[in-house]
Amino acid sequence: MPLDHTAKGVYPIAPTPFDAEGRIDYASVDRMTDFYLACGSTGMTVLGVMGEAPKLDGAEALELATRFVTRAKGIPVIVGVSAPGFAAMRTLARAAMDKGAAGVMIAPPNTLRTDDQIVTYYRQASEAIGEDIPFVIQDFPQTFSVVMTPGVIRRIVQDNAACVMLKHEDWPGLEKISTLRGFQADGSMRPISILCGNGGLFLDFEVERGADGAMTGYAFPDMLCDIVRLQAEGQRDAAHDLFDAHLPLLRYEQQQGPTGLAVRKYVMAKRGIIASDAQRKPGASLTAKAKAEVEYLLARVARHDPRAGKTI
């Protein structure tokens, strides 16, 4: 089913598993997808920033997206289609939708400077890929250097019927969520889904502010699912207690660029979710000192969450 504004829960951002030679590890793709399903994920997002999408060629990107969609067994899969030009964006977007994707995610290019430029870009992007394709705004100023105010997001939503979701990664961003939900309450913006990123660093309060869940990485997506579920059940203290236990590791994994991804892949490999922590070049790997720090953090998390102590 096509993505719409009612989407909620947890949509893990899937890393791309590679082997030591830089080839896509499709067996790990299947195993990781099965893990996401087993832990209660309500959707998935592939070819995102932490999916090393720029390191894939067009054929690889479509083949990988298709593998995720096929293995996901009916839960919605969002495909990142951000590209320097609209031709490549359209090609991947239309092909991914033909293979069964639920929608696409579009990040703004870092050349945008004014509100009008941002609004125009998203209108043109939707026209380019086809206004029948549901799309997600990726609001990540720390990486893309494009600042979208709540008013700009409202303009994009109101101008584009195909815009159904915001991937919210502004920081600080709690007040932005409240403002957007206020726009919905006063009728000046139609409803959209809001899923949050930043490795889940603020998920405990983001859902309390009105976010519908998470769209992010983290080596314990099962914990993210638990946080969203506990909050929905009204178990606020239990949600915060679990979040607090993981916060030091969340923070450590949130290091920018390939280092943070190296932490995530290292832990996911230790948990048996993927076979290797390899990144395709150019990439990074953890030093012995960094691995020791991660092991220390895992041991501390395991005092409160036994899942952190179950590694292979």
pLDDT at 191 over 90: yes
**Greater confidence, 149 or 73?**
149
**Protein fold of 9-219:** TIM Barrel (3.20.20)
What mean pLDDT value characterizes the chain? 97
pLDDT at 216 over 90: yes
pLDDT at position 293, please?
A: 98
Q: Which one, of 202, 110, 186, lies nearest residue 194 by Cα?
A: 202
Model confidence pLDDT, tens digit, residues 110-167 = 999 999 999 999 999 999 999 999 999 999 999 999 999 999 999 999 999 999 999 9
pLDDT at position 291, please?
A: 98
pLDDT at position 312, please?
A: 74
pLDDT at 305 over 80: yes
DSSP 207: T
Which residues 6+ apart lie within 8 Å of 153 measured at CB? 137, 139, 166, 180
**Residue 76 phi, psi (nearest 5):** -65, 135
pLDDT at 1 over 90: no
Q: Which amino acid is at 257?
A: G
Per-residue confidence band for 64, with pLDDT thresholds at 50, 70 and 90: very high
pLDDT at 279 over 90: yes
Model confidence pLDDT, tens digit, residues 238-267 = 999 999 999 999 999 999 889 999 999 999
pLDDT at position 181, please?
A: 98
Q: Give the pLDDT mean for 56-73.
A: 97
Q: Which amino acid is at 189?
A: M
pLDDT at position 272, please?
A: 97
Task: Taking the CA atoms of 47, 48, 54 and 55 in sequence, report the sign of the dihedral they define.
Answer: negative
Cis peptide before 134 (omega within 30 of 0): no
Model confidence pLDDT, tens digit, residues 19-33 = 999 999 999 999 999
pTM for the full model? 0.96
Per-residue confidence band for 6, with pLDDT thresholds at 50, 70 and 90: very high
Which residues 6+ apart lie within 8 Å of 221 measured at CB? 10, 12, 35, 36, 39, 41
Q: Which one, of 35, 105, 103, lies nearest residue 71 by Cα?
A: 35
Take residue 154 and report the two structure tokens written for it: 């409202």
pLDDT at position 34, please?
A: 98
Task: Taking the CA atoms of 25, 41, 90 and 107 in sequence, report the sign of the dihedral they define.
Answer: negative
Query: What is the DSSP pairing of strand 9-10 with strand 44-46?
Result: unpaired
pLDDT at position 231, please?
A: 97
Per-residue confidence band for 15, with pLDDT thresholds at 50, 70 and 90: very high
Per-residue confidence band for 294, with pLDDT thresholds at 50, 70 and 90: very high
**Paired residues of 136 in beta bridges:** 105, 165
Angle at 131 between CA 101 and CA 168, to 5 degrees: 65
Q: Give the pLDDT mean for 178-185.
A: 98
Per-residue confidence band for 94, with pLDDT thresholds at 50, 70 and 90: very high
| Contact indicator for 129, 81 with CB cutoff of 8 Å | yes
Match 């190296």 to its residue by tokens: 262
To the question of whether residue 189 is assigned a binding role by annotation, the answer is: no
Per-residue confidence band for 49, with pLDDT thresholds at 50, 70 and 90: confident
| Contact indicator for 96, 79 with CB cutoff of 8 Å | yes
Q: Give the pLDDT mean for 204-228.
A: 98
